[in-house]
Amino acid sequence: MDFRSLPKIELHAHLSGSISRDCLHNIWLQKKEREETTLEDPLIEMPADEFDYDLDSFFPLFSRYIYVLCNDLSSLIYTTNSVLEDFQADGVVYLELRTTPRAIPSANITKHDYVQTILDCVSKFNASSSMKTNLILSIDRRNDLSTALEVVDLALRFRGQGVVGIDLCGDPAVGDVATFQQAFEHAKRHNIKITIHFAEAPQSSTPKELWKLLSYNPDRIGHVINVPDDVKEEIVQRRLGLELCLSCNVHARMITGTYSDHHFGWWRETGCPIALSTDDVGVFGSNLSNEYALIAEHFGLDKKEICDLARGAIETIFGNEKEKQRLREIMWK
Ligand X SMILES: CNc1ncnc2c1ncn2[C@@H]1O[C@H](COP(=O)(O)O)[C@@H](O)[C@H]1O
Binding mask 55-74 for ligand X (x = CB under 6 A): ---x---x------------
**SS3 string of 171-208?**
CCCCCCHHHHHHHHHHHHHCCCEEEEEECCCHHHCCHH
Alpha-carbon Rg for the chain in angstroms: 19
Q: If binding is defined by CB under 6 A, does position 243 make contact with ligand X?
A: no
Q: CB–CB of 152/187 below 8 Å?
A: yes
| Minimum CB distance to ligand X, residue 311 (Å) | 25
- DSSP for 271-319 reads T--EEE--B-HHHH---HHHHHHHHHHHHT--HHHHHHHHHHGGGG-SS
Only segment of 9-17, 41-49, 150-158, 294-302 that touches ligand X (CB under 6 A): 9-17
In angstroms, what is the minimal distance from the CB of 35 to ligand X? Answer: 26
Q: Any bridge partners for residue 135, and if so which?
A: 97, 163
Q: Which of 150, 200, 243, 291 is catalytic?
A: 200
Minimum distance from residue 33 beta carbon to ligand X (Å): 25
Residue 65 vs 332, nearer CB to ligand X: 65
- Binding of ligand X at residue 280 (CB under 6 A)? yes
Q: Residue 147 CA to chain centroid, in angstroms? A: 20
Nearest distance from C-beta of residue 181 to ligand X, angstroms: 20
Shortest Å distance, C-beta 248 to ligand X: 5
- Compute the residue count for the chain: 333
Contact 160, 320 (CB under 8 A): no
Count of Cβ atoms closer than 10 Å to residue 41 Cβ: 14
Cβ nearer to ligand X, comparing 278 with 316: 278
329 is catalytic: no
Query: Is residue 252 at the binding interface for ligand X, with CB under 6 A as the rule?
Result: yes
Per CB under 6 A, the segment of 8-16, 204-212, 224-232, 299-307 that binds ligand X is 8-16
Q: Which stretch binds ligand X (CB under 6 A): 11-19, 124-132, 148-156, 301-309?
A: 11-19
Q: Strands, E, within 124-265: which ranges?
A: 132-140, 163-169, 193-198, 220-223, 241-244
Site for ligand X in 89-128 (CB under 6 A): 99-100
By annotation, the residues acting in catalysis are: 200
Kindly list the residues in this chain that would bind ligand X in the complex (CB under 6 A): 14-17, 58, 62, 99-100, 138, 140, 169-170, 197, 200, 248, 252, 279-280
